[in-house]
Amino acid sequence: GEDVEQSLFLSVREGDSSVINCTYTDSSSTYLYWYKQEPGAGLQLLTYIFSNMDMKQDQRLTVLLNKKDKHLSLRIADTQTGDSAIYFCAEIFQTGANNLFFGTGTRLTVIP
């Protein structure tokens, strides 16, 4: 199977920027995703990036993709306490069903 790696924990102060990193293995992935999981809830899609892009910005979120190093990052500007959650990166495994492989998840804690 695929191996998608993330750091398990990240703590930041409210108002600072958060950067969550991910490394993936399938160089043929067409899309890479960031999902957010709030406590006691399922996952929600935050944003995604197509593999021919280097960067995508969506309000406070910036996704950077380095295909050469197979490195994906999610930057959250002006981090708020409501951003505290687990963040998962995911890549598509190139089969007919286009299933997702998820990273281990990074638990972001925002300190007031």
Partner 1 sequence: NAGVTQTPKFRVLKTGQSMTLLCAQDMNHEYMYWYRQDPGMGLRLIHYSVGEGTTAKGEVPDGYNVSRLKKQNFLLGLESAAPSQTSVYFCASRLIRSNEQFFGPGTRLTVL
Q: Which residues bind partner 1 (CB under 8 A)?
A: 1, 4, 8, 31, 33, 40-45, 48, 88, 92, 97-100, 102-105
**Residue 20 contacts residue 74 (beta carbons within 8 Å):** yes
In the complex, minimum distance from the CB of residue 89 to partner 1, in angstroms, rounded to a whole number: 9
Compare residues 92 and 110 and give the one whose CB is closer to partner 1: 92
Q: Which one, of 106, 85, 88, lies nearest residue 32 by Cα?
A: 88
Compare residues 45 and 111 and give the one whose CB is closer to partner 1: 45
The per-residue b/e assignment along 64-88, b for 16 or more CB within 10 angstroms, e otherwise, is bbeeeebebbbbbeebeeebbbbbb
In the complex, minimum distance from the CB of residue 16 to partner 1, in angstroms, rounded to a whole number: 25
Compare residues 79 and 105 and give the one whose CB is closer to partner 1: 105
